[in-house]
Amino acid sequence: MPTDTPVWFITGCSTGFGHDLARLVLDRGWRCVVTARDKDKVADLVADAGDRALALTLDVTDQAQVDAAVAAATTAFGRIDVLVNNAGYGYQSSIEEGEDAEIRAQFEANVFGLFALTRAVLPAMRAQGSGHVINITSVAGLVGFPGSGYYAASKHAVEGFSDALHAEGKPLGIRVTCVEPGPFRTDWAGRSLKQTPNRIAAYADTAGARLASTSGYSGTQAGDPVRAGEAMIALTQMDTPPRQMVLGKWGFDAVTAKLKDRLAEIESQRDASLATDFSG
């Protein structure tokens, strides 16, 4: 087994970004820890990789599985160079329609599971004095859309967490990047998406319209997940990788429009003399 190639640890590899990224990493001759809630679903990825690949069962909401997976990875490869927190899913409803159990389950996967795995990997990165944490958030981590408030909240939480980790990890050689995809041809809008069955007519033109537009187009989105994977690999080759990387023209346009709107609001506040100095 080569010992001078980077070691990647990727969650959620059964489909979508995780699956395509793991294949790209292994096709380069690198080492990869390929994880999924059912490791049989990643058998195709590791079949020809020999001892460069380690397939593991991992539900990021299970702390025992998190600890066991990280221990197995470091035992097999001695290090973890790149952690890709990809596991997660979408949940759509208006804010009022949101169901508590569904909201909490999404946060367990998208937020607390990501937190737990990152904490488990950091000691190895700190000891080796290097590492790169890539958190797959979403354009919804920067912009809240109607019908996706709870999903956006989970991704905004990861963005804030990543800002703090960037500040703490940079002096230790640990780099952090959030990748914010727009629509890509993954299962996010299909198998990996939950929608509330309880619809309130008053939200038909806002949240309801977005839920309707999302249904049925999984796999037909403009974005190519393989190209997204290549962009993530390129991130790890940069001397100074960006803290954020928006993927896809739709996402870039949506974020740019929102930033312009917010800047206009801030300027309006200043012009109205509402930016009062409360410093003392």
Residue range 146-166, pLDDT digits in tens:
999 999 999 999 999 999 999
| Lowest mean pLDDT segment, chosen from 160-169, 213-222, 267-276 | 213-222
Q: What is the mean pLDDT of residues 87-114?
A: 95
Domain boundaries of the chain, sorted by first residue: 7-271
pLDDT at 93: 93
- pTM for this entry: 0.89
The CATH architecture to which 7-271 belongs is 3-Layer(aba) Sandwich (3.40)
Instruction: Give yes or no for residue 15 having a pLDDT over 90.
Output: no
**Above 70 in pLDDT, residue 255?**
yes
120 pLDDT band, cuts 50/70/90, is: very high
The per-residue pLDDT for range 51-67, each reduced to its tens digit, is 999 999 999 999 999 99
Main-chain phi, psi angles of 186, to 5 degrees: -125, -175
* Residue of 91, 150, 151, 203 with catalytic role: 151
Does residue 90 carry a pLDDT above 70?
yes
217 catalytic? Reply is no
pLDDT bin (cut points 50, 70, 90) of residue 276 is: low
- One-character DSSP codes across 90-147: EEEB-TTT--HHHHHHHHIIIIIHHHHHHHHHHHHHHHHT-EEEEEE--GGGT-PPTT
| DSSP codes of every residue in 18-71 | HHHHHHHHHHTT-EEEEEESSGGGGHHHHTTTGGGEEEEE--TT-HHHHHHHHH
